Structure 1
Amino acid sequence: MSGPGSSGVVVLGTGMHPWGKQGRPFAEYGLAAARAALADAGVAWTDIQYLVGADTIRNGYPGFVAGATYAQALGWTGARIASCYAACASGAQAVDLARTRILAGLCDLALVVGADSTPKGFFAPVGGDRPDDPDWLRFRLLGATNPAYFGLYARRRMALHGSTPYDFAAVKVKNARAGALNPMARYRKTVTTEEVLASPMVADPLRLMDICATSDGGAAVVLASESYARRHAGARGLVRLAAVSTVTPTFPNTVLELPNFATDSWAAAPPPERPFRAAIAYAAYEEAGLGPEDLSLAEVYDLSTALELDWTEDVGLCPPGEAEKLLRDGATALGGRIPVNPSGGLASFGEAIPAQAVAQLCELTDQLRGRAGPRQVQGARAGLAANQGLFGHGSAMVVTR
């Protein structure tokens, strides 16, 4: 076993279950992804010292104790386990738990699994009436379903930066092109701008094809200490998990951020240097010792087409208001200067909440290992994955070669 701080952390293996609407228990998807990740890493389940399951709260008690659910399904070995829930950042927090244990020298080999089986339509709060829950309140008091606040973000972007529905449609066209090349994606068909603009209006100005679906799916990674990885796989081609950011917002919030619309706090603090989404990414950059100019690609949280444009700016790929120019110039497409969502993004996968950040890490790892097939970003050396969960959960990861 490695000593504390003796090495970094390597993504030794990745695995996924194809995303879609298969209607099977979430643990089946997670188990398939876990076995694929173990095979990719060239290790046995009995070698794993620590397993972290990202929780899915819509799937009963087994979903709340996902770590134990997966450990039991794989076969009890005495491995230590943990389970965690952080909304859409659950996968990143699960990765961070495993990474931290490795960095502390408490284990050399860990497995992280996230999977979900989702209901039809948009996600709604679970657990009955909860008047002290801001998520429940935004539905009940504001009528702000997820697509509704995606639409509010889009309207804000149009007002601030002059974005148009054609710009939003172009994001879907770009991501559908990439998703068509990804065997794990749910939607594997290219679309045209005209098809996007002809799809039904859901939350003005966003149409059906502007908004990601809810999906079933699973993703898993095997993490290892660098010393173990060198002994096991040699020094060549190691993909290092250089940073994980799980930062929270800084009070005062200067912009209304649905769904976190409560802006009160007992902690007085100077105004934040950056808005929350930007702070998530820049905390990861600082830890990794690089900046957005060093990235080869980025996976960002395209809950809607308009939100991808916001995230493109938030993670520092361009100044505010210039994401449309990058898009129009082809810079964020496959083959462009800085591809964004070369996996196809949530536009092609849909949301499977505990699996999302883990799936992003799978894509970054495959790209840096040069095995992304027709989606391959040539010469990829560094990548960022970023998303955001309810209640101030940040999620960003940086991987490097």
Structure 2
Amino acid sequence: MHPWGKWGRSFVSYGTAAARAALADAGLEWSDVGSVVGADTMRCGYPGYVAGATFAQALGWQGARVTSVYAACASGAQAIGTARAQILAGLADVVLVVGADSTPKGFLAPAGGERPGDPDWLRFRVLGATNPAYFALYARRRMALYGDTAEDFARVKVKNAAAGALNPLARYRARVTAEEVAASAVVADPLRLLDICATSDGGAALVLSSMEFARRHGHPDPVRVRAVSTVSPTYPKAVLDLPDIATDSAAAVSPAPHAFRASIARAAYEEAGLGPEDLSLAEVYDLSTALELEWYEDIGLCAPGEGAKLLREGVTALGGRLPVNTSGGLGSFGEAVPAQAIAQVCELTWQLRGTAGDRQVQGARVGITANQGLFGHGSAVVAVR
């Protein structure tokens, strides 16, 4: 990975730095790579729209197959899925996956001009609902349905900041207290500044290969990708006569778990032949502190409405029975959209190798990542050792 921050440079520099670090970690040269898959960034002009070719050019044209993938916040995981498919199809033995972003300060507004057919654009334009407002609606829903409190949300930030303080790649490396969260400015009630993630620059990369190649090149027991889920939601239009902008699940009118995110994890578990009971750790998409609690339920760590209880008992903290966001999460990194799903898998890899330093989960064997993007994009990756 390239450290997250506000560096003011081209996304290409972050991505190529991460790519070279990944190749060095694998003991390979760029010339060994048969394919490069880039996760696209819509904010960085034409080079961002063709990220695979952009990174291949920056590393030096050498004839590798090139693919570019866009799936909003799930771009990195879809890039991993694409790379894995190429390997399983025999199109390449080694695939380099890269994602990076140079993100402007402030809210992530839709890119590309006026798009009245785009529900995300409409959310901003018609409702005035920026992302923090969207996050706040989730938080209020949890408070109404389950009795979650602002103090519970603050506990998520305290937990993740403690992990981020141990991660040299994180942007924010200071521990915080619940009192500091409560004293930070209100952004979208009930969420405060320290409840939501920032926007950041950063990059992440992975080298994927066939098992045979890995073993031939000195990696007899590599971390293995057991599943990549990129399913779309099942939208109950027969039950809810609402436009797409309103909701993507029955969760708006029922205390049942969010159907989209739960289906992302379910598809990953089914492919991997594993379940939440097998997990050693998880990396989930904490756009807000309240949303992390929702993920606990969606990936099956507890029943609906019990996420805050899990947190209060210390289960998801470093040293707990099932740590979540040992990297520090987006609260410690901020959003660098094409890179973040890849960065989640980087964290799983270090944890499963036993090389995560002071934030190491002892005996880690199975991990899952999960995130949600726009337009029905979402992803989960299961990795094992």
> 1:353 maps to what in 2?
337
Check the 8 A contact 1:149/1:258 in 2, yes or no: no
Q: How is 1:175-324 mapped onto 2 (pairs within 5 angstroms)?
A: 175-236=160-221, 238-252=222-236, 260-261=245-246, 275-324=259-308
1:1-400 matched pairs, under 5 angstroms: 16-236=1-221, 238-252=222-236, 260-261=245-246, 275-400=259-384
Q: List alignment gaps of at least 5 residues for structure 1.
A: 1-15, 265-271
Query: How far has the Cα of 1:251 moved from its partner?
Result: 2.7
Instruction: For 1:331 and 1:258, locate their aligned partners in 2 and report how far apart those are by CA, in whole Å.
Output: 38
Equivalent position amino acid for 2:266 in 1: Y
Aligned residue type for 2:383: V
CA distance in 2, matches of 1:317, 1:128: 40
Q: For residue 261 of structure 1, report the CA deviation from its aligned partner.
A: 2.7
Contact 2:229 2:379 in 1 (8 A): yes
- Aligned 8 A contact 2:122 2:245 in 1: no
Post-superposition offset of 1:128: 1.6
What one-letter code is carried by the residue in structure 2 that aligns with 1:289? G
Distance 1:256 1:181, change over 3 A: farther
Aligned to 1:10: none
How far apart, in 1, do the equivalents of 2:240 and 2:342 lie? 29
SS in 2 for 1:233: coil
Amino acid at match of 2:48: G
Q: Secondary structure at the match of 2:2?
A: strand
Shift of 1:164: 0.4
Aligned equivalents of 1:394, 1:57: Cα separation in 2: 17
Give distance in 2, aligned partners of 1:319 and 1:304. 20
Q: What is the letter of the counterpart of residue 195 of structure 1? A: E
Q: Kindly report the root-mean-square deviation, in angstroms, between the aligned alpha carbons of the 2 structures.
A: 1.8
Q: How many residues align?
A: 378
TM-score (norm 1): 0.92
User: Could you tell me which residue of structure 1 aligns to residue 252 of structure 2?
Assistant: none
Displaced runs of 4+ in structure 1, greater than 4 A? 253-260
Residues 48/118 of structure 1: CA separation in 2 closer, same or farther (3 Å cut): same
TM-superposed deviation, 1:234: 3.9
Letter of the structure 2 residue corresponding to residue 219 of structure 1 = A
Tell me how far apart the structure 1 counterparts of residues 188 and 51 of structure 2 sit (CA, whole Å).
34
User: Counterparts of 1:376 and 1:390 in 2: how far apart (Å)?
Assistant: 32
* CA distance in 2 between partners of 1:259 and 1:179 (Å): 36
Structure 1 Cα separation of the partners of residues 368 and 243 of structure 2: 24
2:253 corresponds to which residue? none
Alpha carbons of 1:161 and 1:234: their partners in 2 closer, same or farther (altered >3 Å)?
Answer: same
Which amino acid in the other structure matches residue 324 of structure 2?
V
Aligned residues of 1:260 and 1:392 also touching (Cα < 8 A) = no
Q: Deviation digits for residues 361-382 of structure 1, max 9, x if unmatched? A: 0000000000000000000000
Cα distance in 1 for partners of 2:244, 2:352 equals 34
- Could you list the per-position Cα deviations for residues 17-72 of structure 1 after superposition, in whole angstroms to 9, with x for gaps in the alignment? 00000110000000000000000000000000000000000000000000010000
Q: Deviations over 1:58-91 (max 9, x none)?
A: 0000000000100000000010000010000000
CA contact (8 A) 2:257 2:304 kept: no
Query: Secondary structure of 1:18's partner?
Result: strand
In structure 1, what residue type is equivalent to 2:327?
A: S
What one-letter code is carried by the residue in structure 1 that aligns with 2:174? K
What is the match of residue 12 of structure 1? Answer: none
Give the counterpart letter for 2:4 in structure 1.
Answer: W
